[in-house]
Amino acid sequence: MKILVCISSVPDTTTKITFTNNNTELNSAGVQFVINPNDEFGLTKALQLKEANPGSTVTVIHVGPAANDPVIRKSLAIGADDAVRIDCEALDALQVANEIAAYVKANPFDVIITGKESIDYNGAIVPHALGELLGIPSVSPCIGLEIKGNEAKLTGMVDGGKEELTASLPVVAGGQKGLVDEKELRIPNMRGIMQARTKPLAVVAPTGSDVSQKVSNYDSPAPKAACKMIDANNVEELVNLLQNEAKVI
């Protein structure tokens, strides 16, 4: 079985987000970039599927510039067999999906795993757009994935619950926590890090798919007014404020 994991490079979750150059760019000074957390759950699932199905391979693919190679090498250190980087600065999610779909059409895979969304642009677009472009089913957010022969059993999140589904391979699954547990995530060991240096990383030219949007600038959330403190022995005052000042209950 050939498994493809799509990874995105995003600011670490502890990053305080600020903007620069007239608020037209993310201020990346001092920002640590990591594998998108949702993608990392997917990568771990891919490695588990590989171990359960001997002879399988796990390839990671990333659309981005050479500056993002560290997250690709980390994925290889965690256990992926090889990697592909499509060499372009994508401007929107559809461009990312188009570039990955073009690669997959030329190099087919049985299972394609993405994150349900990246934690920077939060589009939640790539898994479904990829499924549509390839003419195959997509389930995202996906919190359960089992493969038996040519069939996938998938558990999709729906608002207020979950849905069990089946589909013939190939499929796209959009991972998040729950696809594997937090404690199942793998930390690269020294041997993995050494091996990652020599695992294949193919750099592929983009197809030049068109762009459907561009960011003009960014805004930061409006600052909160000072917190009103209420005495722990006077919770009635909190109820009064919620009813009559905030008017939310």
Partner 1 sequence: MSVLIYIEHTNGTVKKNVLEAASYAVAFAEKIGSSATGVAIGDVSDDEIKKVGSSGISKVIKIGGQSYLNHQKVAAIINDMANSLNASTVIFPGSTEGKGAGARLAIKMGAGIATEVVDIPSSTSPITLKKKAFSGKGFANIELTKAKNVIVISTNSFGVAEKQVDCSIEASSTSSNDKSLKHVSFDRNTEGISLPDAELVVSAGRGLKGPENWGMIEELAGTLGAATACSKPVSDIGWRGHHEHVGQTGIAISPNLYIAVGISGAIQHLAGVSSSKTIVVINTDSEAPFFKAADYGIVGDAFDVVPKLTAALKAAKG
Residues 157-186 that bind partner 1 (CB under 8 A): 157-168, 176-178, 181-183
Pick 58 or 143: Cβ nearer partner 1: 143
Cα–Cα distances (Å) from 134 to 27, 93, 105, 137, 171, in that order, read 35, 15, 7, 9, 9
d(CA 141, CA 139): 6
> Out of 9, 38, 44, 209, which residue is the one contacting partner 1 (CB under 8 A)?
38
Examine residue 14 and tell whether it contacts partner 1 (CB under 8 A): yes
d(CA 178, CA 200): 30
Q: Within 48-87, which residues bind partner 1 (CB under 8 A)?
A: none
Pick 205 or 249: Cβ nearer partner 1: 249
Examine residue 224 and tell whether it contacts partner 1 (CB under 8 A): yes
Q: Which residue has the tokens 């022995």?
A: 233
Give the chain's radius of gyration (CA, Å): 21
Examine residue 209 and tell whether it contacts partner 1 (CB under 8 A): no
Examine residue 20 and tell whether it contacts partner 1 (CB under 8 A): no
> Out of 6, 34, 47, 125, which residue is the one contacting partner 1 (CB under 8 A)?
125
Which H helix or E strand runs over 165?
strand 161-168
Examine residue 198 and tell whether it contacts partner 1 (CB under 8 A): no
